[in-house]
């Protein structure tokens, strides 16, 4: 279902955005995403490369959407998207996090994200 996980750090503040972000693998993995999951463990997420629109159908919890350009710079943040919504934004990537995680780390548009191997 997914590739190896990565830690995500905000370059400006050196604060951890997520301790573990996993890439959606393939067309089916991208379509399924977080559907039918009861929730995300704290400080984790899923990344879609590329992001060709995001839906929250069949999800059971709110999520934050963090859109990135090709240099992993934040271009858009959608906070606390509830289930059964669509977002038609196209981007080089989108990270789905637990609702409220982006705000809790002071993530801002223009921040560059650094992806690092996890230490598991």
- Of 35-49, 52-66, 86-100, the one with minimum mean pLDDT is 35-49
On whether residue 45 sits in a domain, the answer given is yes
Q: What is the pLDDT of residues 91-100, one digit of tens each?
A: 999 999 999 9
On whether residue 30 sits in a domain, the answer given is yes
On whether residue 1 sits in a domain, the answer given is no
pLDDT over 60 at 110, yes or no: yes
On whether residue 19 sits in a domain, the answer given is yes
CATH code of the domain covering residue 94: 2.60.120.1140
Label the pairing between strands 6-10 and 113-117: antiparallel
**pLDDT band for position 1 (50/70/90)?**
very low
Q: What is the residue range of 63's domain?
A: 6-117
Global pTM value: 0.87
Overall number of domains in the chain: 1
On whether residue 104 sits in a domain, the answer given is yes
On whether residue 31 sits in a domain, the answer given is yes
What was the pLDDT predicted at 54? 86
For residue 71, the number of C-alpha atoms closer than 13 Å in the C-beta half-sphere is 6
């Amino acid at each position: 279902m997914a590739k190896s996980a990565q830690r995500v750090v905000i370059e400006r503040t050196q604060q951890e955005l997520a301790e573990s972000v996993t890439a959606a693998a393939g067309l089916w993995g991208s379509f399924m995403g977080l559907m039918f999951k009861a929730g995300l463990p704290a400080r984790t997420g899923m990344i879609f490369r590329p992001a060709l629109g995001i839906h929250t159908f069949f999800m059971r919890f709110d999520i934050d959407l963090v859109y990135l350009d090709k240099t992993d710079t934040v271009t858009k943040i959608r906070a606390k998207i509830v289930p059964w919504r669509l977002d038609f934004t196209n981007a080089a990537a989108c990270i789905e996090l637990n609702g409220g995680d982006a705000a809790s780390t002071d993530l801002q548009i223009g921040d560059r994200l650094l992806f690092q191997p996890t230490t598991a």
